[in-house]
Amino acid sequence: MKRAGMRVARPLLLGTFLVLWCPSLWAQEATAIESLNRIRSSAGLAPLWVDPRLTLAAQGQALYLSQGGRKDHRQEQGEPGFTGETPSRRALNAGWSSSLVAENFSLGQANGQASLSDLMAAIYHRLAFLDPQWDRVGWAKAGEGDSASYVYLLGNARAASLCLVDKADLDLLPECLPAKVPEADPRPQGPARILWPAEGVSVPPAFFEETPDPLPDRGYSGYPVSVSFNPAFYPEPPKLLALELWLPGEKQPLELLRILSNKTDPQHRLDRYSHVAFPAERLPWGAAVEVRLRFEAEGKKQESRWNFMIQEPKHPLVTLQGQGEWLALPSGQPFSLYLPPRQGQPTFGDLEWEGPEGTKAQLEWEDPNSFSLLLEGAACSQVSFSVSGQPRFQVQILGGSGDATRLFPVAPPCYPPEAQGKPVYWLRTRLEVPRGTVFLLQRKDGSPLPPELSWSFDPLVEVEVKRLSEGLLSLVLYGPAGKEVKLSLGEAEEVKLRLSGRPESFDFWVPAH
């Protein structure tokens, strides 16, 4: 038997590791920044420009984190790789002239696109990316697989340039250390309302983890919807009247777990201009979602509606129960397997599989509730899957195609390629079977036959038998009509096969693929 597994990759939305910069990372940087700028463009925001000083600061922090697996924005002076206690100080030490910066980082994603996807699902990190004040960025990546890491350091060029002025009448808060600057607002205006998901974009179905955690009492929710009113357009924060999510054809909006604001945010990270709606459950794969926003600003009530899409799974979807059920999957064809979250089990645990020698399984997490599975193995091979050490479901590999979305309480009937296009007879006490023609024999429930079978027949009869699987026999009987073949499956079970020129109707026909 072959045993293998896949550990849960829990993306950490805190910081990053980094290796030495190399040419290949420049191409990855361009791709990552392009993806981030596409996100900002969808929300109506200006693009970010790469700044080498912010990149250098990010590298210093990342190198520090890579030495000992540290996972904090803060560095401890005296430890190897120390470049500054805070992101602001590291930016200043790298030559950036303002302490007005924001640092996002994540760990464990497969690529930069997955990193951004996770960060955009995480509310506090999302709002940093969508803050209109940022127009510069530094980016870095290190490692592969579970150790992969990504860092983004955001800055404001106008604030940095103002901080280069030696003297002025007014301070720009504490962002310049210690320079004096003229009175000015360094924030680009951007759109009046910054909405995410924005009109027409496609996002994952769910939110799971973030540090700090906006849902400390819940392990998951549907993908959150955020609304940020731009202070450049609203001198006072508008009053939120309603923030609803609707599916097509429904008469009621989706149930919300809660709406966070600066008054209800458990981590006190949201300002007075931001609101976030968390759906109570995952949003359906492939669904179109309409957002209905109503608010009051300067005494006037206003309404806005827009639509976004939920991503489709990567492959044909199979929804599991995780209660020992069976699936029938074709060899060599990928599927997306989804275990709905429930109380006490919001996500998959570590996933392990066991199957016959020669069986191959390719597994890749799509999200903490879903993974891609491609099995390769002999027809009718059976593969068991366990989650965190507990058996959850089993797969029987098909020789051809089949209904992969169907769940079975027991092992489903399996017909290898040799069985295709053949008639099947279910075992019973007496059967009229054809002469000189291949037919198949099995129990009605598909359960295994004894490993040792006993045959008795007339000398004029010739029997050719082949076991195609544990519960399936292929037979050809030659001899005069009326002769019988006795098959014993044990002391209490016997079947008589009577050769006939006009056999009774078979019970099932194995389709040819």
Indicate the residue type of 450. Answer: P
**H or E segment at 33?**
helix 23-42
What are the phi and psi torsion angles at 149 (to 5°)?
-145, 150
The ranges assigned to domains in the chain are 24-181, 191-312, 317-408, 420-499
- For the whole model, what pTM was predicted? 0.79
Tens digits of residue pLDDT in 311-326: 999 999 999 988 899 9
**H or E segment at 203?**
strand 202-203
Residue written as token pair 């799509």: 366
pLDDT at residue 71, as a whole number: 76
The answer to whether the beta carbons of residues 330 and 406 sit under 8 Å apart is no
**For the purposes of burial, counting CB atoms within 10 Å of the CB of 310, is it exposed (0-12), middle (13-18) or buried (19 or more)?**
buried
What are the phi and psi torsion angles at 53 (to 5°)?
-70, -40
Q: Which of 8-22, 214-228, 347-361 has the lowest mean pLDDT?
A: 8-22
* Helix, strand or coil, per DSSP, at residue 448: coil
Residue written as token pair 């579970």: 146
The architecture (CATH level 2) of 191-312 comes to: Sandwich (2.60)
Average pLDDT over residues 476-487: 94
DSSP 388: T
Cα dihedral 493→497→502→506 (10° resolution)? 50
How many Å apart are CA 436 and CA 416, to the nearest integer? 21
How, if at all, do strands 149-155 and 136-142 pair?
antiparallel
The answer to whether the beta carbons of residues 440 and 472 sit under 8 Å apart is yes
Please tell me which of 167-176, 245-254, 354-363 the model is most confident about, judged by mean pLDDT: 245-254
Residue written as token pair 């198949």: 440
What are the phi and psi torsion angles at 509 (to 5°)?
-120, 120
Helix pair angle (23-42, 112-121), 10° resolution: 40
Please tell me which of 60-74, 269-283, 325-339, 369-383 the model is most confident about, judged by mean pLDDT: 269-283
The answer to whether the beta carbons of residues 370 and 353 sit under 8 Å apart is no
Tens digits of residue pLDDT in 290-314: 999 999 999 999 999 999 999 999 9
Tens digits of residue pLDDT in 386-422: 988 888 899 988 766 556 677 888 887 777 788 888 8
317-408, CATH topology level? Immunoglobulin-like (2.60.40)
Same fold, 191-312 and 317-408: yes
The answer to whether the beta carbons of residues 223 and 203 sit under 8 Å apart is yes
The answer to whether the beta carbons of residues 442 and 473 sit under 8 Å apart is yes
- The CATH number of 420-499, from 1.10.8, 2.60.40, 2.30.29, 1.10.510, is 2.60.40
Q: Does domain 24-181 have CATH number 3.40.33.10?
A: yes
Residue with the bigger pLDDT between 19 and 80: it is 80
The secondary structure of 109-155 as a DSSP string is -SSHHHHHHHHHHSHHHHHHHT-TT--EEEEEEE-SGGG-EEEEEEE
pLDDT at residue 401, as a whole number: 58
**pLDDT band with cut points at 50, 70 and 90 for residue 9:** very low
Q: 99 pLDDT exceeds 60?
A: yes
